[in-house]
Structure 1
Amino acid sequence: MTVIVWTAVGSLAAWLWLLLGQGFFWRTDVRLPPGEDPPRGGWPTVCVVVPARDEAAVLGESLPSLLAQDYPGRAEVFLIDDGSTDGTGELARALGRRGGLPLTVASPGEPPAGWTGKLWAVRHGLALARAREPEYLLLTDADIAHAPDSLRRLVAAARTGGFDVVSQMARLRVESLWERLVVPAFVYFFAQLYPFRWIGRRGGRTAAAAGGCVLLRAETAGRVRIPDAIRHAVIDDVALARAVKGGGGHVWLGLADRVDSVRPYPRLHDLWRMVSRSAYAQLRHNPLLLAGTVAGLALVYLAPPVALVAGLAAGGAAAVLAGGAAWLVMTATYVPMLRYYRQSLWLAPLLPFTAFLYLLMTVDSAVQHYRGRGAAWKGRTYARPDAIPEEG
């Protein structure tokens, strides 16, 4: 019991530090800052770039929301069909003929070595957009639906706050049992790694964005060489934010109220694939970081319930108190995210189970990487960055 007690005490100490010392990551009040409407200098030109590969199943709900944007300035949408085989390009053209913002559908062909398909598509879209001389670029995924005033509010916030990047973490779909268990925790874990309050600090080192909705100043994109500088990044949104911050830019990231993902993940297999395809890349394909992550997840999330149960079984009051207190703090920090996703608060005590699933997904991501199937998505598998030759 002594080992269990000290492990539980360590977990409790970790949770007290996370509660107070990790940028209040558990709070969900970091939302899009208000902006002047109209902003000083008027409404700038904006080009929207949508990379899409085999997205016909969701495009009918997402693309019309972009074309119907209530934006007072000049705006145009570029959908880049990244080698789709399901009629994505044809569907996009048909949707564009219904009216709304101007739509251009183009295809860049297969990406060259050293490029991910998404970033190659983004590069092609930015090249087309450059002819319109936009002040801002909205990079958004093909499964993201925007409220009619989304672009207007993003631009107003960026102009008023002087941000180079304004990114919103789209509200993911939460309908199936597995989505309820896994999706809110996904955003919770992301915020724990990248506290939104720290990201918004000028001069701070923490940098991240959410790829589903990124408003980027065009001048900044050119200055820091987006997307060329991050061409091989599997986790491209975080890489983009780091490049912008590294170039002296100001980044803001928060939770969305009116930007939603329409992509369903009805089965555990679907969610498992979403997480495991990039989890080991997040750890830089480093076995030591993997071991540390597994140990950290076990200490922080698994030790509290294990200590509580073991203490109750063996009559160890210290284990019960330390394990129970750590589990209680953990549960309390998860409640705001469940409220944001409008889910039952009874899911909060199940966070250790969900964390155990993420632990397994992370290990599986490493296993798939060493089997040569890591970072696989929609028929493509990407090499680790240090295996890619640099351009001359």
Structure 2
Amino acid sequence: MTVLLWLSVSSLLVWIGLTCGHGWFWRTDQRLPERRPPARWPRVAVVVPARDEAEVLPASLPSLLAQRYPGEARVVLVDDHSSDGTGDLARALGAGGGLPLTVTTPPPLPAGWTGKLWALRHGVELAGSADYLLLTDADIAHGPHSLAALVEAAETGGLDLVSQMARLRVETRWERLVVPAFVYFFAQLYPFRRSNRPGTRTAAAAGGCSLVRRTALERAGGVAAVRGAVIDDVSLARAVKRTGGRTWLGLAEQVDSVRPYPRPAQLWRMVSRSAYAQLRYSPVLLAGTVLGLGLVYLVPPVAAFAGAATGRWGTAAAGGAAWALMAGTFAPMLRYYRQPVASAVLLPFTALLYLLMTVDSAVQHGRGRGAAWKGRTYPRPADGPGGGDGPGDGPGNALGNRTMIGED
């Protein structure tokens, strides 16, 4: 019990530090900043990589074509060699009117590229001289004024990358358990406020919705600069910020993911397929993550219950206080997702699931089945452009891992 007491006190101290001194990561007030209509609306190309997306495309593509954008805009959907008729479906949806739509297929995937980034590169090339590029996934539905609001924010604030984390689906029991925690963990790893401040090393973006200034993308080396990155959105934000660009990331109000995850196995695979990549394929970082998750998320409830059961009230009090801080910081995210705040007490269980998913990710990589997605498996990238992707530039890399729910 003495060991458990010290562990519970250590966990409590960590939670006090996270709550008060970690960029206010738990607050959900980072929404699109103050904005106003520009004097001249810039030209925008919306680039959508799509591979076997016929299931979700009818709910997402029409929302892009129906954008009420006062300037010149077009949509480029890159059909990444789909086998389910994605390209033909997109052309049929485009025949209904709205923004001009181009449906194209990239050349065969070369070595050293992920499929999504190769498709994005092809789409960016077709975008020509557009002033801005909206990089958005095929499962993301946009409100009618989404594009205009993103451009207004970029123009008003002089931002080179404006990214919104789409509101993910929370309809099933498992989605409600896993999804809000995913966004919470992401914000803990990359506090939005810290990422949005110029001059800081922390940089992050959400690949489902990122508006990037074309000149900033070119200055950062283009899509080729991150060509092998499995965690491509964070890598892109780093590249833009590292080359002098200003980035901004926040929670969305009119951008939603329509991809369903009705079964726990689907959510498990979506998390585990890229978790080990975020840890740079390092057994040392994996061990640190497991120990960190255990100390921060699992010790508090164990200490609270064990201390109360054995009459060790100091242990119970420290564990209960840490658990209360944990639940209290999770509550704003649950409110954002319109979920019962009382369910915040289940966060340790969800963290345990993420811990197991992370370990499974390492096991699958060891078996050669790591970053697999829609028929493709990506090996560990070599050091260099797009390689070595991990949480080194962000805080708290022993407290969680970055995954890609709802991304291609």
TM-score category of the 2 structures, normalised to the smaller one: over 0.9
Question: 5 Å matches for 1:83-94?
Answer: 83-94=81-92
Tell me how far apart the structure 2 counterparts of residues 6 and 388 of structure 1 sit (CA, whole Å). Answer: 42
Code of the residue aligned with 1:161 in structure 2: it is G
Which residue of the other structure, out of 103, 107, 113, is the alignment partner of 1:109?
A: 107
Code of the residue aligned with 1:75 in structure 2: it is A
Identity of aligned residues (%): 69
* 8 Å Cα contact 1:304-1:323 kept in structure 2: yes
Question: 5 Å matches for 1:132-151?
Answer: 133-151=129-147
Q: Which residue of 1 aligns with 2:338?
A: 342
Compute the displacement of 1:223 (Å).
1.3
Compute the displacement of 1:388 (Å).
8.6
Is residue 2:304 matched to residue 1:333? Answer: no
* 8 Å Cα contact 2:4-2:303 kept in structure 1: yes
Which residue of the other structure, out of 301, 314, 318, is the alignment partner of 2:310?
A: 314
Which residue of the other structure, out of 126, 131, 154, is the alignment partner of 1:158?
A: 154
Q: Which residue of 2 aligns with 1:236?
A: 232
Q: Which residue of 2 aligns with 1:225?
A: 221
* 8 Å Cα contact 1:79-1:103 kept in structure 2: yes
Q: Which residue of 2 aligns with 1:270?
A: 266
Q: TM-score, normalised by structure 2?
A: 0.93
Q: CA deviation digits over 1:15-44, x for unaligned, max 9?
A: 00000111000000000112112x13x100
Compute the displacement of 1:267 (Å).
1.0
* 8 Å Cα contact 2:165-2:206 kept in structure 1: yes
* 8 Å Cα contact 1:172-1:262 kept in structure 2: yes
Which residue of the other structure, out of 73, 83, 87, is the alignment partner of 2:71?
A: 73
Q: CA deviation digits over 1:310-353, x for unaligned, max 9?
A: 11121101111000000000000000000000001121000000
Tell me how far apart the structure 2 counterparts of residues 347 and 384 of structure 1 sit (CA, whole Å). Answer: 37
Q: Which residue of 2 aligns with 1:202?
A: 198
Compute the displacement of 1:389 (Å).
10
Tell me how far apart the structure 2 counterparts of residues 173 and 64 of structure 1 sit (CA, whole Å). Answer: 18
Tell me how far apart the structure 2 counterparts of residues 269 and 22 of structure 1 sit (CA, whole Å). Answer: 33
Code of the residue aligned with 1:277 in structure 2: it is R
Q: Which residue of 2 aligns with 1:95?
A: 93
Aligned length: 387
Q: Which residue of 2 aligns with 1:45?
A: 43
Q: Which residue of 2 aligns with 1:58?
A: 56
Tell me how far apart the structure 1 counterparts of residues 327 and 164 of structure 2 sit (CA, whole Å). Answer: 25
Tell me how far apart the structure 2 counterparts of residues 24 and 242 of structure 1 sit (CA, whole Å). Answer: 21
Tell me how far apart the structure 1 counterparts of residues 326 and 342 of structure 2 sit (CA, whole Å). Answer: 13
Compute the displacement of 1:387 (Å).
7.4
Compute the displacement of 1:309 (Å).
1.0
Code of the residue aligned with 1:268 in structure 2: it is P
Code of the residue aligned with 2:294 in structure 1: it is A
Q: Which residue of 2 aligns with 1:18?
A: 18
* 8 Å Cα contact 2:226-2:386 kept in structure 1: no
Q: TM-score, normalised by structure 1?
A: 0.97
User: Once superposed, what is the RMSD of the aligned Cα atoms?
Assistant: 1.3
* 8 Å Cα contact 2:49-2:80 kept in structure 1: yes
Q: Which residue of 2 aligns with 1:373?
A: 369
Code of the residue aligned with 1:11 in structure 2: it is S
Tell me how far apart the structure 2 counterparts of residues 146 and 153 of structure 1 sit (CA, whole Å). Answer: 11
Tell me how far apart the structure 2 counterparts of residues 22 and 212 of structure 1 sit (CA, whole Å). Answer: 25
- The runs of at least 4 aligned residues of structure 1 exceeding 6 Å deviation read 387-391
Tell me how far apart the structure 2 counterparts of residues 347 and 185 of structure 1 sit (CA, whole Å). Answer: 11
Structure 2 segments unaligned to the other structure (5+ residues): 388-408
* 8 Å Cα contact 1:56-1:91 kept in structure 2: yes
